[in-house]
A and B are shown apart, each in its own frame.
Chain A
Amino acid sequence: MSHNLPFEKPVVELQNKIDELKNFTQEKDINLESEIKHLEERLQDLESQVYDELSPWERVQIARHSERPTPLDYIDYLFTDFLELHGDRLYGDDEAIISGIARYKGRPVTVIGQQRGRNTKENIRRNFGSPHPEGYRKALRLMKQADKFGRPIICFIDTKGAFPGKAAEERGISEAIARNLVEMAALRVPTIAIVIGEGGSGGALGLGVCNHMYMLENATYSVISPEGAATILWNDASQAQQAAETMRITTPDLNAFGIIDGVIPEVRGGAHYNIEKQAAYIDQTLESSLNELLGFSSEELRNQRFEKYNQIGKIDM
C-alpha cells in the first residue's frame, strides 16, 4: 500500500526491516532464517497490538483512507450485470451518488451508494462524495423503480455529509433528504444499508432508513464530523481526536445503541488492504440478511422498519 497511517508506522517499519533482511539473504547468500522468523513473530504481535484494539480516532482515519474501497469497487465483486442509471429527471445527475440495477446471486436488485472519487480528478466530478439534492432524488427515483418491480435495494453509505452549498439549499437539500427518509420507510421491498466508510449525518441517513443496517468494523456513523463537533464543543477543530472519543461514532457504540444490526469484520488494518477479501466478508452478511428479509411480506417489511426506528433510544410507553 502506498499510503500508511501514522499509527501504523511501527508495523510498517518492522515489515520493511524483514523485507530488507530477506533481500539481503538472497543477495549475499547468508542464512538469516532464524532472525527473520523471530522478527516475523514479533510482527504478528505488533500487528495485534496496533490493529486489534483500534481507538475511535484510528478508525476514523481508516474510514477516511484515500484508498478505502468505494461502492463501485465492491460492486465489481458482489454483483453481476451492473448497469448504472443516471439522473433525477428533475434537474441533473449528481455523480456523488451512483445507482443502478444488477444481479445479486442471480436475483435482480437495485444498488445505490455515495461515491467518492478514487483520484483528484474523479473526486472533483463526484464532489468528494457529498451529494446535492439531485443525488437523493435520483436515489429515490430508483428506489421507487425497485419498489415497482419488486427488487430488493442495497445501499452503500460513505459520505462526509450532504454538500453544504448555496445551490443545494436553493434546490431543497432539506426536502430531498427528508423525503427519502419517509419514502424509504414506506417501501415494500427489502432494504439493506451498509456503512462502508464515513456515515456523515443527515447526508448518510438519506440512504439509510432500511430494514437492516450494517457497518464495516472501522466505519463511522455520526451526527456531526469529529472536526465539527470539536469546533462547537471547544471552538477548536484540532481537537477532533478528543471529539471522536466523546461522540461515540464507531461500531462498538453503534452496536450497543441498537442502531445497527451487525458489524461486518474488516481485513486487518482496514478494507483497503484486500478489497476482494473484504467484499467476501460483505457478501456473507448481505446474503444472510437478504435471505432473512425475503421471507417477509411487504407489509411485514414496512412494519419491521417502523418498529426498528420507533424503539431506538427508549423503553417505556
Chain B
Amino acid sequence: MLLSAIAHEGDRFCEKEVSILFKDLFSKKRKYATIPSERTQPTKMNDGVMTKCPNCKTIMYSRELKKYLSLCSECGHHFRMTADERIESTIDAGTFREMDVGLLSGNPLDFPEYEEKLTRDQEKTGLNEAVVTGEGKIDDYPVVLGVMDSRFRMGSMGTVVGEKISRAMLQAEKTNTPLILFSASGGARMQEGVLSLMQMAKTSVALERLNEAKIPFISIMTHPTTGGVSASFASLGDYNFAEPGALIGFAGRKVIEQTIREELPEDFQTAEFLLQHGQLDRVVHRSEMKATLVQILKIHGWSQEEGDKNESQSSI
C-alpha cells in the first residue's frame, strides 16, 4: 500500500515531508470510482441472524431489520446504518459515484498502534476511512453526498475525513450542486492530535466557499454526532436535521457531569433535546428522510437534469 511515510530528522518532522499525510492510491486519472462490489456487502454491525432492539427488547430477524431501513418494527428505534446502507436508502439506484476512494491516512504523529487500528477498521468495515463521499441523484436531483460511518474509528475526524468532506464541499461549489452530509462521529481523532483539530478549520474554509456561492447544505446529524464534528460543519447546515434519539453534543456526558457535579436529564443531548433548545430545524424520522430531502431540493428549484438552477428559480 502507498501508505505515506513520514521522515524524521532527529525528533522533528522534516517540514517538506510532514505534509505528506496521505496519497491517492489510484492515479490522477481515476478521480472517481464506482462503488466497488465488495463495498456493498451487508453490514457487520449487527452480526448474527437475530437482532434485539435496545429500546423495546423485541427480537427480530436481522435481515428483516435491514429491509426496513434498520428501524425497529415495534418501536421505530433507529439502529445505526452503515455508510453503504445510507447511500442505498438515499441515492437513486445506480447513480452514486464515489469520490476520493483512495485517500488513506498516514500516521502523522507516529502514534503507537495507529496503523494497526486503521487496518483493522478497514478490514472490519470494507471502508478506507470514516466517511464516504460522492455524487449521485435523489429522485433525479443531482447532489453531492457525504456519509460518515461510526464503525470506522468511531467516525472520528482525522485528516482524511476532513479532506474528503472539504473536497465534497468544493465539488458541490464547483458543480453548483446541493450538498448533503450525514454526520456520525465521536469527534476528533486522538491519534492525529492537533491535525485532527485543524480539520474543523479546513472544512470551515471550504464551507465558507459554499455559503458564498449560495449553494444549499443540508446537515443530517445521526447517532452520534459529537465533539469536533458537532462543533463544525454538522451544526452549520442551511437545514439542520437529526434522526430521532440521536446523541448530539459538544462535550461528553460524563465530562459534563464531573464538571458541574449534577446529574443530567435522561434526554440530555438527544435530537429531541436539541430541537427543544432551538438547535435543530427538525427531527426527521428515517422513513421520511428521503421525502424531506426531495422537498427541499424542489423548493430550491434545482433542476433534475443539470447541476444547475432552473429558469423559474434564477429569475426570481
Contacts and interface: CB of A to CB of B under 8 A. Distances in A.
A208 B256 CA distance: 24
Interface string A217-257: 00001111000010011000000000000111100111011
Contacts of A246: 109, 111-112
Interface in B174-195: 188, 190, 192-195
Contacts of B207: 182, 185
Interface of B: 12-15, 18-24, 108-109, 111-112, 159, 162-163, 166, 188, 190, 192-202, 204-209, 211-212, 227-228, 230-236, 248-252, 255-256, 259-260, 262, 264, 268-269, 277-279
Contact of A164 (B14, B196, B256): B256
A258 B13 CA distance: 10
Nearest to B212: A186
Nearest to B157: A223
A289 to B, nearest CB: 18
Given A185-B205, A202-B200, A202-B231, 18 more contacts: A164-B250, A164-B251, A172-B277, A174-B248, A178-B230, A185-B201, A186-B211, A221-B197, A247-B109, A249-B194, A253-B194, A256-B18, A258-B15, A312-B159, A312-B201, A313-B19, A313-B21, A314-B159
B117 to A, nearest CB: 12
- The 4 A-B pairs at the shortest CB distance, nearest first, are namely A164-B251, A181-B204, A185-B208, A313-B159
A172 B278 CA distance: 8
Contacts of A164: 250-252, 255-256, 259
A258 B194 CA distance: 11
Contact of A313 (B14, B112, B163, B228): B163
B13 A253 contact: yes
Interface string A182-214: 101110000000000000011001101100000
A311 interface: yes
Contacts of B230: 174, 178
Contacts of B277: 170-172
22 contacts: A164-B251, A169-B268, A169-B269, A171-B277, A172-B235, A174-B230, A174-B235, A182-B211, A202-B227, A221-B197, A223-B228, A247-B193, A256-B14, A306-B208, A309-B198, A309-B202, A310-B205, A310-B206, A311-B19, A314-B19, A314-B21, A315-B21
A221 B194 contact: yes
Contacts of B190: 223-224, 229, 232-233
A144 interface: no
Contacts of B211: 182, 186
A173 interface: yes
A52 interface: no
Contacts of A169: 249-251, 256, 268-269
The residue in B14, B21, B233 that gathers the most chain A C-beta atoms within 10 A of its C-beta is B21
Nearest to B258: A164
Given A182-B204, A186-B208, A165 B256 contact: yes
Nearest to B23: A316
Nearest to B189: A223
A313 B198 contact: yes
A162 interface: yes
Nearest to A199: B194
A259 B194 contact: yes
B250 A162 contact: yes
Contact of A223 (B194, B262, B264, B279): B194
Contacts of A178: 200, 204, 230-236
A315 B5 CA distance: 13
Contacts of B111: 246
Given A174-B250, A256-B18, A258-B18, A205 B259 contact: no
A155 interface: no
Interface in A299-317: 302, 305-306, 309-316
A314 B22 CA distance: 7
A33 interface: no
Nearest to B262: A166
Contacts of A257: 13, 18, 108, 194-195
Contacts of A186: 208, 211-212
Nearest to A210: B201
A315 B268 contact: no
A235 to B, nearest CB: 13
Given A202-B250, A223-B193, A175 B201 contact: no
Contacts of B256: 164-166, 169
A222 B196 CA distance: 9
Contacts of A162: 231, 250-251
A314 B163 contact: yes
A201 B199 CA distance: 12
A193 to B, nearest CB: 11
Contacts of B163: 313-314
A184 B277 CA distance: 25
A257 B89 CA distance: 40
The residue in B231, B249, B279 that gathers the most chain A C-beta atoms within 10 A of its C-beta is B231
